[in-house]
């Protein structure tokens, strides 16, 4: 399984991977390097809204806000994409 093409430039990775602990490593191993790669909600947001600039920095690949953050500043369009994707596909943490 190859890594995500955005592995080196993903803002969530850049901001949260260094100090995220086991929970973040679990997400990286499952989504960014693993079998859930095609299910990354960040990638889906970029695809549906037309660019990576629409992805909230604090959105995890499973569509949840990073630990200690919230989705309060996410657009309604982003929240709708999350709502459509997250429940059946999120990885248990
Ligand atoms: S979070 Fe998503 S977009 Fe970012 S590196 Fe992982 S799979 Fe790619």
Using most ligand atoms within 8 A of CB, pick from 2, 10, 33, 57 the residue to mutate for ligand 1.
10
Ligand 1 centroid – CA 1 distance (Å):
14
Can you read off the two tokens belonging to residue 74?
Answer: 């996410």
Query: How far, CA to CA in Å, does 65 sit from each of 1, 12, 74, 86?
Result: 26, 10, 10, 12
Alpha carbon of residue 76 to chain centroid: 17
The predicted-structure confidence for 16-40, as pLDDT tens digits, reads as follows 988 889 999 999 999 999 899 999 9
Q: What integer is the mean pLDDT of 80-84?
A: 95
Tell me which residue has tokens 């909600």. Answer: 41
Whether ligand 1 lies within 6 angstroms of the CB of 59 is answered as no
Q: What is the pTM (predicted TM-score) of this model?
A: 0.90
Given a cut of 90, whether residue 2 has pLDDT beyond it is no
pLDDT at 86: 77
CB 78 within 8 Å of CB 54: yes
d(C-alpha 66, C-alpha 38), whole Å? 20
């Amino acid at each position: 399984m190859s890594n995500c093409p955005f592995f080196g430039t993903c803002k969530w990775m850049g901001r949260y991977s260094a100090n995220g602990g086991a929970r973040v490593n679990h997400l990286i191993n499952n989504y960014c390097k693993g079998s859930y790669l095609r299910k990354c909600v960040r990638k889906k947001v970029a695809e549906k809204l037309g660019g990576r600039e629409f992805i909230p920095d604090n959105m995890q690949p499973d569509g949840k806000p990073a630990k200690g953050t919230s989705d309060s500043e996410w657009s309604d369009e982003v929240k709708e994409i999350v709502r459509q994707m997250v429940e059946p596909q999120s990885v248990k943490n």
